[in-house]
Amino acid sequence: MPSVIVLDKLAQEGLDMLEAAPGITYEVITGLKGEELREALNRFDGAICRSGVKITPESLEGNRQLKAVVRAGVGTDNIDKAAATRAGIVVMNTPAGNTLSTAEHTVALMLALSRNVAPAYQSLIEGRWDRGKFMGTQVAGKTLGVIGLGRIGLAVAERAQGLEMNILGYDPFMTEERAQSLGIELVKTVDEILPRIDYLTVHTPLTEETRNLVDMEQLEIIKPGARLINCARGGIYNEAALAAGLESGKLAGVALDVYPEEPCTENPLFGMPGVVCTPHLGASTEEAQTSVATEAVELLTAFLTTGAIRHA
Ligand code: MLT
């Protein structure tokens, strides 16, 4: 009988599906690392995780039992895929379930930056009625640069168009025709986008190509007063460059949901004027969590019972 380990907190709907899956047994064991994780992974046929657990080469060492890991979410960067492949373990993800929630969070942060929502509330609860201090900026008529026009990037672009923003997009995989049909002006390089945007958002994985995509050099050419948002992966913007840009006044604002190391409770950007940060909440909605959990269970149970592989 195939057995499944759930390594991170999973929406109840997913657990209910596991409970009801004929011929599957499962256990939820969260917070595992080191030897405990290695030993646990060696006792199950399949695993479901979110981003909390880190599946490293060490955690798969000597594994003879595990056949598949499904990430309930998009990014599989917490799973060492090369080590999994060497051990014959299939890695799958659920790329669609988070799309709308992450796009909405991006828009929420963009608007929060524009209207000083976080510092205005902070000042109010500290007993001040500072109406004059929090002059904002309208997003209508402004230009949003979207780097990465996949599911989430496009959902952000569509929502921003609803706010009457102009969209400049960069994505080497997007054709000119498709961009045009979506009302997006496609540019050929990141450098081309930077001098022209009022807001910038990134929706790419973190890779060697995207790490430090906005660094000190890019700061030189970015439009003065730009506001930058990152709900994708920490490290795409160089945080030291962001801090320098805010200090010099070149950047008007920075909103981050993601960090190079997570959990992240200390960061030089936290508390800087013009910064609003959240603790990786992009996918934290009931809808997204239900969707990624149920899709992850579907993928894993299908694989364990029929060998079918999707989103590998
Ligand atoms: C993802 O990759 O699915 C998102 O960043 C959300 C998450 O890590 O939970």
CATH code of residue 212:
3.40.50.720
Q: Are 286 and 5 in contact (CB under 8 A)?
A: no
User: Do residues 228 and 122 share a domain?
Assistant: yes
Query: Given this model, what pLDDT does residue 312 score?
Result: 41
4's enclosing H/E stretch is: strand 3-6
Q: Does residue 312 fall inside a structural domain?
A: no
pLDDT tens, residue by residue, 177-221: 999 999 999 999 999 999 999 999 999 999 999 999 999 999 999
Query: Given this model, what pLDDT does residue 229 score?
Result: 99
User: Do residues 254 and 105 share a domain?
Assistant: yes
Asked whether 98 lines ligand 1 (CB < 6 A), one says: yes
For a pocket test of ligand 1, which of 7, 8, 55, 74 has the largest count of ligand atoms closer than 8 A to its C-beta? 74
User: Do residues 125 and 260 share a domain?
Assistant: yes
Domain that holds residue 135: 99-277
ipTM > 0.90 for the complex = yes
Q: Whose CA is closest to 277, among 230, 219, 216? A: 230
User: Do residues 271 and 126 share a domain?
Assistant: yes
User: Do residues 212 and 273 share a domain?
Assistant: yes
User: Do residues 106 and 65 share a domain?
Assistant: no
Low-confidence ranges of the chain (pLDDT < 70): 311-312
Q: Does residue 109 fall inside a structural domain?
A: yes
User: Do residues 13 and 29 share a domain?
Assistant: yes
Q: Does residue 265 fall inside a structural domain?
A: yes
pTM greater than 0.80 (yes/no):
yes
The Cα–Cα gap between 102 and 152 comes to 7
Ligand 1 centroid distance, CA of 294 (Å): 15
User: Do residues 265 and 172 share a domain?
Assistant: yes
What is the number of the ligand 1 atom nearest to the C-alpha of 232?
5
Q: Does residue 224 fall inside a structural domain?
A: yes
Number of domains in the chain: 2
| CA-to-CA separations, 270 to 115, 134, 183, 261, in angstroms, rounded | 18, 19, 35, 14
User: Do residues 83 and 140 share a domain?
Assistant: no
Bridge partners, 277 (sequence order): 256
Query: Given this model, what pLDDT does residue 190 score?
Result: 97
User: Do residues 116 and 259 share a domain?
Assistant: yes
What is the number of the ligand 1 atom nearest to the C-alpha of 93?
3
> Beta 275-277 vs 166-170: how paired, if at all?
unpaired
Asked whether 282 lines ligand 1 (CB < 6 A), one says: yes
Asked whether 74 lines ligand 1 (CB < 6 A), one says: yes
User: Do residues 31 and 89 share a domain?
Assistant: yes
User: Do residues 146 and 163 share a domain?
Assistant: yes
Ligand 1 centroid distance, CA of 11 (Å): 14
pLDDT tens, residue by residue, 280-311: 999 999 999 999 999 999 999 999 999 998 75
Q: Does residue 42 fall inside a structural domain?
A: yes
Query: Given this model, what pLDDT does residue 311 score?
Result: 55
Q: Which residues are catalytic?
A: 233, 262, 280
Q: Does residue 311 fall inside a structural domain?
A: no
